[in-house]
Amino acid sequence: MAISRRQFFLQATAAYAALHSIKANALSTALAETGLKDLYKDDFYLGTAIGASKLKAGSPDFLKLVSREFNAITMENDMKWERVNPTPGQWEWDLPDKFMAFGEQHEMYRLGHVLVWHSQVPSWVFENGKGKPASRKELLARMKNHINTLAGRYAGQMNAWDVVNEAVDEDKGWRKSPWFNIIGEDFMDYAFNFAHETDPKAHLLYNDYNMQNPAKREFVVDYIRKAKKRGVPIQGIGLQGHVGLGFPDIKEFEASIEAYAAEGMRVHVTEFDVDVLPVAWEFMGAEISTNFEYSDELNPYAKGMPAAIEQQLNDRYVEFFKLFLKHRDKIERITLWGTGDGESWKNDFPVIGRTNYPLLFDREYKRKACYNAVAALKQG
């Protein structure tokens, strides 16, 4: 029996909707058993940072989520000098060992963070035992011993190390840290050489924030070129990727990916999150609960994100992940700096007590709309 054009259109629309629903349900079922790492397995490693509290608690649900969604992990704080080697000769291996065991159990890419940094380092490292600055010789010996002990413990097991972290001071050149002031600008060369000697198989990175800054990019590229001529085994660059809804200019971020890759570096986006709150540097260190005058201004989403802001968050994640996919041939790994919103450092920085929503999972570790948006990029 012949049907009208309208009936044909309605039936075709219904059939399309049914097919779309079947595909959506199939994707939902697949993601319930797998995760983002499986969708992006042919593009780059997808990772998260794990904090001490999660490793101490050993929550089966949390660890199951991490192993389902990610195939790369970074230790958030407990391989930093003040945690792992707080006093001379004292080494705290419990949490780093748990981190390594978890990664090995699930065959995950393991990133050690960090061997040489100016922050979160005990004061004794830079002193001579009499309260005076250590000599160049003393500090180089401590650097070597630290790298040999920490990287040496996991040699052959750690896939990559952030060898040096945040050594460049925006457009001012080298950060005038104790490492630079005591050893000189060749402290970076020494760190990379010590790390390579200790674990020749590990992939060695320089990691920093604001790496899309043109002046910083130019300085780092210049260092890479000169260091490679000196035989320094620098192999990758970590772009920390702490971005906001309106910053940075994604074109500059892309220019940095291209510039570092052009120097033979594998690119890692090492600490990605998206800040949805107003910029608040002028209130740095403040406690908003005791300053009612600006609490509403600086903590506007204490009870949840408005729909319009959530859409901006989704769009920003999609914008960056499209960029990452575009340059998948240059990118080794994308790591989120945390798993759920409740554990993010962005809740307390630079102003204590704010409520932020920068990650792919909410405070109950449920997938957010931005997770679905990132997953949808790989549905086809």
Determine what percent of the chain is predicted with pLDDT higher than 90.
78
The secondary structure of 246-272 as a DSSP string is S-S-HHHHHHHHHHHHHTTPEEEEEEE
Reported as a pLDDT band with limits 50, 70 and 90, residue 6 is: low
271 is catalytic: yes
Can you tell me the distance from the alpha carbon of 162 to that of 167, in angstroms, rounded to the nearest whole number? Answer: 12
319 is catalytic: no
Can you tell me the distance from the alpha carbon of 20 to that of 124, in angstroms, rounded to the nearest whole number? Answer: 62
Q: pLDDT tens for residues 327-373?
A: 999 999 999 999 999 999 999 888 888 899 999 999 999 999 999 99
Reported as a pLDDT band with limits 50, 70 and 90, residue 287 is: low
Q: Mean pLDDT, to the nearest integer, of 271-293? A: 74
Q: pLDDT tens for residues 208-227?
A: 999 999 999 999 999 999 99
Q: What is the pLDDT of residue 269?
A: 98
Rounded to the nearest 10 degrees, how much is the dihedral formed by the CA atoms of 324, 326, 331, 333?
A: 40
Q: What is the pLDDT of residue 379?
A: 82
Q: What is the pLDDT of residue 94?
A: 96
Alpha carbon 65 to its chain's center: 18
Q: Is the pLDDT of residue 374 over 70?
A: yes
Q: Mean pLDDT, to the nearest integer, of 96-110? A: 97
Q: Which sequence spans correspond to the domains of the chain?
A: 33-281
Cβ(305)–Cβ(282) under 8 Å? no
Q: pLDDT tens for residues 24-66?
A: 454 444 456 789 999 999 999 999 999 988 888 878 899 999 9
Cβ(239)–Cβ(270) under 8 Å? yes
Active-site hit among 104, 185, 254, 271: 271
Q: pLDDT tens for residues 144-156?
A: 999 999 999 999 9
Active-site hit among 166, 218, 282, 343: 166
Q: What is the pLDDT of residue 55?
A: 84
Q: pLDDT tens for residues 127-150?
A: 998 889 999 999 999 999 999 999
Q: Mean pLDDT, to the nearest integer, of 272-287? A: 79
Q: What is the pLDDT of residue 284?
A: 61
Q: pLDDT tens for residues 69-82?
A: 999 999 999 999 99
Reported as a pLDDT band with limits 50, 70 and 90, residue 18 is: low
Q: What is the pLDDT of residue 27?
A: 46
> Is the CATH code 1.10.10.10 the one for domain 33-281?
no
Can you tell me the distance from the alpha carbon of 304 to that of 311, in angstroms, rounded to the nearest whole number? Answer: 13
Q: What is the pLDDT of residue 350?
A: 85
Q: Is the pLDDT of residue 271 over 60?
A: yes
Which carries the bigger pLDDT value, residue 31 or residue 165? 165
Can you tell me the distance from the alpha carbon of 349 to that of 354, in angstroms, rounded to the nearest whole number? Answer: 8
Q: What is the pLDDT of residue 285?
A: 60
